[in-house]
């Protein structure tokens, strides 16, 4: 099965110049854990997670209303193509310790793929569970 068959095409994104406050509101409003950070032409520049906001903005005692997304986003984003195999996407998630992958075509965002998307498809629930297990086993406990 191809990524395009199960990815979410309703992508909510932000630009590097938007505030951490706006990003947090979007995460809350859409009940999602990450936002792709894109240029105005849809090219992916990074990804911003709820964890990025907490650790790089709030815990650092920065004002989220003036902190720019570009200053706290994660760079070096791994992505997949709509034509990639879902099993390969699960392996990438496990290897890169991520639960969500931007789906890009010609450098532009066209969707998002999450472990949840895979788990909903019974033929990939084992891959999703394995990826989650691999991700969770590498979490450092405090």
Q: Which residue has the tokens 């936002």?
A: 35
pLDDT tens string 122-138: 554 455 445 545 545 55
Sequence-distant (6+) residues with CB within 8 A of 51 are: none
Give the chain's residues under pLDDT 50.
124-125, 128-129, 132, 135, 139-142
Tell me how far the alpha carbon of residue 7 is from its chain's centroid: 12
What is the length of the chain?
142
DSSP symbol at 103? E
User: What pTM does this model have?
Assistant: 0.80
- The secondary element (H helix, E strand) that includes residue 105 is strand 100-105
User: How do residues 5-18 score in pLDDT, each as one tens digit?
Assistant: 999 999 999 999 99
As a whole number of angstroms, the distance between CA 104 and CA 78 comes to 10
């Amino acid at each position: 099965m191809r990524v395009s068959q199960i990815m979410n095409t309703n992508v909510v994104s932000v630009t590097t110049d938007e505030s951490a406050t706006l990003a947090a509101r979007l995460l809350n409003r859409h009940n999602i854990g990450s936002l792709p950070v894109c240029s105005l032409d849809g090219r992916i520049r990074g990804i911003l997670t709820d964890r990025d906001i907490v650790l790089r903005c709030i815990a650092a005692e920065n004002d989220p209303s003036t902190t720019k997304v570009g200053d706290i986003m994660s760079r070096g984003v791994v992505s997949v193509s709509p034509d990639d195999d879902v099993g390969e996407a699960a392996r990438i998630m496990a290897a890169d310790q991520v639960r969500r992958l931007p789906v890009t075509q010609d450098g532009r965002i066209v969707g998002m793929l999450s472990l949840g998307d895979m788990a909903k498809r019974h033929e990939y629930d084992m891959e999703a569970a394995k990826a989650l297990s691999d991700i969770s086993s590498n979490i450092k406990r405090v």
